[in-house]
């Protein structure tokens, strides 16, 4: 891979991992998911393969924060939003335009 195409990919990957917890929370508003489901979702939506360590670290962090709850179902840990997690997703949804504006402003000249 040439350096010109490698750098944008690395930055794209970093942006996704930086927003991973937001992605997980917003994905869980539709349905409970396992860590594997999160990895598959990210691959389908963003064409990126996240490591299990990265995903499970984020899930554990969200669980410790009380935003998600994991339960064991048939040998798989399935995560769902808690009441606090649902409130966090509502807050993020209300901030969506500000977040999009922030990201857009990074690409607009001053």
Q: Could you give the number of structural domains in the chain? A: 1
pTM of the predicted structure, to 2 decimals: 0.85
* Span 78-103, average pLDDT: 93
Is a pLDDT exceeding 80 seen at residue 27? yes
Q: Which two tokens mark 98? A: 């500000």
What are φ and ψ of residue 72, in 5° steps?
-85, 125
- Alpha-carbon distance of 37 to 110, in angstroms, equals 41
- Alpha-carbon distance of 78 to 62, in angstroms, equals 13
Is a pLDDT exceeding 80 seen at residue 4? no
CATH number at residue 75: 1.10.10.10
Residue numbers of the domain that contains 84:
3-107
Is a pLDDT exceeding 90 seen at residue 7? no
**How does pLDDT run across 52-90, given as a tens digit for each residue?**
999 999 999 999 999 999 999 999 999 999 999 999 999
């Amino acid at each position: 891979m040439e350096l010109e195409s490698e750098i944008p990919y690395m930055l794209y990957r970093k942006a996704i991992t930086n927003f991973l917890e937001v992605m997980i929370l917003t994905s869980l508003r539709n349905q409970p998911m396992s860590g594997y489901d999160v990895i598959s979702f990210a691959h389908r939506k963003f064409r990126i393969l996240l490591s299990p360590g990265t995903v499970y670290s984020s899930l554990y962090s969200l669980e410790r924060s009380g935003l998600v709850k994991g339960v064991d179902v048939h040998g798989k840990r399935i995560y769902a939003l808690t009441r606090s997690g649902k409130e966090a997703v509502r807050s993020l949804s209300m901030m969506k335009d500000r977040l999009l504006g922030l990201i857009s402003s990074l690409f607009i000249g001053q």
